[in-house]
Amino acid sequence: MSREIQNNKLIILGKLLAGITHEIRNPLSAIELELESINLSEQKLEPEITESLKACKEATERIKNIIESTLEFSRRETRGASSHSLNGIAEQTLDLLSAAARKKNVALIRRFGKNLPKIVVNKNKILQATINLVNNGIEACSKGGAVKIQTSVKKDGTVKLDVIDNGVGIGKENFDQIFSDFYTNKKGGTGLGLSVCKAIIADQKASIKFTSKLGEGSRFTIEFPVSLREDSYGSENTNN
Ligand SMILES: Nc1ncnc2c1ncn2[C@@H]1O[C@H](COP(=O)(O)OP(=O)(O)OP(=O)(O)O)[C@@H](O)[C@H]1O
Ligand SMILES: [Mg+2]
């Protein structure tokens, strides 16, 4: 499939997705209002019913978050770089992929570092990269597998995000190819996920690397150098 056709398909898909999520908002608000009014009614409710109502409210809240994340992601990119929390980006990635993981019975595990400095990046671009990585992790796992998303700061101040899976792993003979356009071993895969990831990450002045062992799993790491940290961004430090 030519890249042009593929890009067009992705654009159409994005538009469809934005339309659907937008339309889900209204009935969802109606459900929320109804739940609220049952809760506020004068009637004394059985404890089990109060519990069920609470569970329904929490579930609608979760749907709302997923919809907001999806809409934000599908909105046309107009802004450049600004300060963002890496944990926020990681959380949003997991929100968007939690259904896919559940469907495959793959656990998503958060290991978020505390007090991470904010990074100055184009959030939607980084989100696009992290979604690709976590998605690959989920696809690499068999039932009962796990994908861990981990954020931390290295000793030298680099902020990093790891996506670690215990899936099929990558054979050494394929290490050179996985970032190439159209390299895929999946039925229905485009083989563009990682090449797009690499281009986005380079464009944001960050870097991406991986380690993997066949049959054991893979770790993909995005590193944001100190120059992208909010606390040093734009400083005229010519000593390094
Ligand atoms: N976490 C991973 N574990 C094992 N193999 C991986 C992993 N990530 C990528 N790969 C290998 O690299 C190939 C290229 O990945 P890439 O994301 O570019 O394309 P894809 O996942 O095959 O297709 P698409 O992303 O378009 O659905 C995959 O087909 C797979 O063979
Ligand atoms: Mg992929």
- The closest of 223, 219, 184 to 201, measured between CA atoms, is 223
Query: Quick one: tokens of 60?
Result: 């609608």
pLDDT value for 222: 98
pLDDT value for 79: 55
**Domain coordinates in residue numbering, the chain:** 3-74, 82-228
Ligand nearest to the Cα of 190, by number: 1
Domains 3-74 and 82-228 in one fold: no
pTM of the model: 0.73
Using the mean position of ligand 1's atoms as its centre, give its distance from the Cα of residue 96 in Å: 18
**Own/partner pairs, 192-200, CB within 8 angstroms, 24+ separation:** 192/3, 192/6, 193/132, 193/135, 193/136, 194/132, 194/136, 196/128, 196/129, 196/132, 197/128, 197/129, 197/132, 197/133, 200/125, 200/126, 200/128, 200/129
pLDDT band at 182 (very low <50, low <70, confident <90, very high): confident
When the pLDDT of each residue in the chain is averaged and rounded to a whole number, the result is 88
Is residue 101 a contact partner of residue 107, using CB atoms and an 8 Å limit? yes
78: pLDDT strictly greater than 60: no
Ligand nearest to the Cα of 142, by number: 1
For residue range 30-71, what is the model confidence (pLDDT) as tens digits? 998 898 888 777 678 888 988 898 899 989 988 888 887 777
> What is the tally of helices (H) and strands (E) in the chain?
5, 7
pLDDT value for 80: 78
Using the mean position of ligand 1's atoms as its centre, give its distance from the Cα of residue 208 in Å: 15
> Which architecture does CATH list for 3-74?
Orthogonal Bundle (1.10)
Pocket test of ligand 1: the residue of 186, 209, 211, 216 to mutate, having most ligand atoms within 8 Å of its CB, is 186
Query: Quick one: tokens of 105?
Result: 């019975």
Domain 82-228: what homologous superfamily? Histidine kinase-like ATPase, C-terminal domain (3.30.565.10)
237: pLDDT strictly greater than 60: no
Please name the residues in contact with 213: beta carbons below 8 A apart, sequence gap of 6 or more.
Answer: 169
Using the mean position of ligand 1's atoms as its centre, give its distance from the Cα of residue 192 in Å: 8
203: pLDDT strictly greater than 60: yes
**What is the spatial distance between Cα 150 and Cα 203, in angstroms, rounded to a whole number?**
22
Residue nearest to atom 29 of ligand 1 (CA): 184
- In the chain, the amino acid numbered 230 is E
